[in-house]
């Protein structure tokens, strides 16, 4: 059948034989039912099947694309450490550009290097210490109180939703010094972020990238909804940048050392504006949008999976609780305490690995 991926696999093999392909990477023999699993959501099953058949690295012909799939931890570590320099972000950048623009989340090559050098200095030790105390702990206290109210009423809770609200509040204060207050009120930003990320995910599995045709994006409901979501996110970020820029200019603020933190506003945005870097408003917006969207969503997912996995393993949960009690002794954590929460850190790392 023309809809079966078998002919794509055969075509990929024939091209590899006729062209100078010395990679020796095996090509997975994809069947229609395998690709149906890929598109239907059970992503792990066919990828795990092919890993067992072809080894830790193989090629996959899916639709008009030819992917290299990596399952070996050492190879994955090598690729991720060189992401944006030696290795192109490819499909990730292609399907997310409508959201991230030229932000460092999907930037490559010299742009990625330049934006990383501009942003990373803001994440110095003094900043992290202040943010843990003023933001992480305060937001977590409100989060715990909210969960306690659910527990008193014996109410089932969607923890993914709750963690998403928590991380948006944390990112808002840490990056922009702005409280989205999504733990107590519905935030249009969360809904917009969710819509935009779902669109990026959908684009990654579209056999035909029709969304590259701008005219179609104006009439297809899914694309209209995605565009509206991106507009909400961008306008929110632009407004926060403008307000902070006005304050920095009014006060004539300028960074005087590498560990600079504004006591009234220790946010990353304040640091970047006070650094007086010559960067366009659009580039700054895209960089901060990368932090807002990618940072809040990924952190929320990690917290959700870690909580779920610990709930399924009572012995590990007990060990994590005992470590927290021993290290913190009932007080809020400081930045220095984090390095002593070794077992809890391993639990988080393991949830990301899984």
Distance of CA 233 to the CA centre of its chain: 15
Residue 271 maps to a domain: yes
For residues 325 and 343, the answer to whether their CB atoms sit within 8 Å is no
Considering the domain architecture, whether residues 287 and 325 belong to the same structural domain is answered as no
Q: Looking at the structure, do residues 136 and 192 belong to the same domain, yes or no? A: yes
- Same domain, yes or no, for 124 and 250? yes
Residue 93 has pLDDT above 80, yes or no: yes
Once rounded to an integer, what is the mean pLDDT over residues 221-229? 95
* Residue predicted with more confidence, 258 or 264: 264
User: Is the residue at 66 inside a domain?
Assistant: yes
Task: Find out whether 149 and 344 touch, Cβ atoms under 8 Å.
Answer: no
DSSP codes of every residue in 144-198 = HHHHHHHHHTT----HHHHHHHHHHHHHIIIIIS----TTTS--HHHHHHHHHHH
CATH number, domain containing residue 240? 1.10.630.10
Q: Is pTM, for the whole model, over 0.85? A: no
Report whether pLDDT(108) > 50: yes
Domain co-membership, 8 together with 144: no
Residue 244 has pLDDT above 70, yes or no: yes
Nearest to 87 by CA among 109, 67, 69: 109
Residue 109 lies in a domain: no
| Same domain (yes/no): 292, 250 | yes
Domain boundary among 277, 301, 325: 301
Query: Which residue in 93, 329, 353, 60 sits closest to 203, CA to CA?
Result: 93
Give the number of other CB atoms < 10 A from CB of residue 104: 24
pLDDT for the residue numbered 174: 94
For the stretch 301-327, pLDDT in tens is: 999 999 999 999 999 999 999 999 999
Please, are residues 293 and 199 in contact by the beta-carbon 8 Å criterion?
no
* 42 lies in the same domain as 137: no
The pLDDT mean for the chain works out to 85
Question: Distance between CA atoms of 93 and 97, rounded to whole angstroms?
Answer: 6
CA angle 318, 319, 323 (to 5 degrees): 115
* Total number of domains constituting the chain: 3
Is the pLDDT at 335 greater than 80? The verdict is yes
- Mean pLDDT over 16-21 rounds to 54
**Does residue 113 lie in a domain region?**
no
Whether 71 has a pLDDT exceeding 80, the answer reads: yes
Residue 102 lies in a domain: no
Tell whether the model's pLDDT for residue 247 goes beyond 80: yes
Same-domain pairing of 285 and 318: no
Q: What is the pLDDT of residue 83?
A: 66
Phi, psi (rounded to 5 degrees) for 148: -65, -40
Residues 282 and 321 in one domain: no
- Considering the domain architecture, whether residues 292 and 350 belong to the same structural domain is answered as no
Across residues 45-59, what is the average pLDDT? Answer: 88
What pLDDT score was predicted for residue 315? 97
Whether 350 is in a domain gets the answer yes
Using pLDDT thresholds of 50, 70 and 90, give the confidence band for residue 140: very high
At 4, the pLDDT band (50, 70, 90 cuts) reads: very low
Range of 115-119, 201-205, 226-230, 266-270 with top mean pLDDT: 226-230
- Measured CA to CA, the distance from residue 259 to residue 122 in angstroms comes to 8
The verdict on 282 and 150 lying in the same domain is: yes
Q: Helical H runs in the chain?
A: 6-18, 32-40, 44-54, 73-81, 90-100, 109-119, 125-131, 137-152, 159-171, 188-205, 214-217, 221-251, 268-274, 281-290, 296-311, 314-328, 342-353
Same domain, residue pair 127 and 271 = yes
Termini Cα distance of the chain: 36
| Phi, psi (deg, nearest 5) at residue 18 | -85, -25
DSSP-assigned beta bridge partners for residue 87: 83
More confident residue, 40 or 247: 247
Q: How confident is the model at residue 276 (pLDDT cuts 50, 70, 90)?
A: confident
Which of 8-22, 234-248, 297-311 is predicted with the least confidence, judged by mean pLDDT?
Answer: 8-22
Q: Look at residue 246 and tell me if it is in a domain.
A: yes
Mean pLDDT of 77-85: 76
Q: Which of 57, 81, 105 is the last residue of a domain?
A: 81
Domain that holds residue 26: 1-81
Both 178 and 128 in one domain: the answer is yes
Is residue 134 in some structural domain? yes
């Amino acid at each position: 059948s023309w809809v079966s991926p078998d002919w794509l696999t055969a075509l990929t093999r024939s091209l590899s034989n006729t062209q100078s392909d010395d990679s020796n990477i095996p090509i997975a023999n994809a069947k229609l039912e395998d690709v149906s699993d890929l598109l239907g959501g059970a992503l792990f099953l066919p990828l795990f099947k092919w890993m067992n058949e072809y080894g830790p690295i193989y090629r996959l012909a899916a639709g008009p694309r030819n992917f290299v799939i990596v399952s070996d931890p050492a190879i994955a570590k090598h690729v991720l450490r060189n992401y944006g320099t030696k290795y192109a972000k490819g499909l990730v950048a292609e399907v997310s550009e409508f959201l991230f623009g030229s932000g460092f989340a999907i930037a490559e090559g010299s742009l990625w290097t330049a934006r990383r050098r501009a942003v990373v200095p803001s994440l110095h030790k003094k900043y992290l210490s202040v943010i843990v105390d003023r933001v992480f702990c305060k937001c977590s206290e409100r989060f715990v109180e909210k969960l306690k109210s659910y527990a008193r009423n014996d109410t089932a809770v969607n923890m993914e939703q709750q963690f998403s609200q928590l991380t948006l509040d944390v990112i808002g204060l840490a990056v922009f010094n702005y409280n989205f207050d999504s733990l107590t009120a519905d935030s249009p930003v969360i809904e917009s972020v969710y819509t935009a990320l779902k669109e990026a995910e959908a684009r990654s599995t579209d056999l035909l990238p029709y969304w590259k045709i701008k005219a179609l994006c104006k009439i297809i409901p899914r694309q209209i909804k995605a565009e509206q979501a991106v507009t909400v996110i961008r306008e929110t970020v632009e407004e926060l940048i403008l307000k902070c820029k006005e304050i920095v200019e009014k006060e004539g603020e300028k960074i005087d050392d590498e560990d600079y933190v504004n006591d009234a506003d220790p946010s990353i945005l304040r640091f970047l504006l006070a650094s007086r870097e010559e960067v366009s408003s659009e580039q700054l917006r895209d960089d901060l949008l990368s932090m807002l969207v990618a940072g809040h969503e990924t952190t929320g997912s990690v917290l959700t999976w870690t909580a779920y996995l610990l709930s399924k393993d009572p012995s590990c949960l007990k060990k994590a609780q005992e470590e927290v009690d021993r290290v913190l002794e009932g007080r809020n954590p400081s930045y220095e305490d984090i390095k002593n929460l070794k077992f809890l850190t391993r639990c988080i790392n393991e949830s990301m690995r899984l």
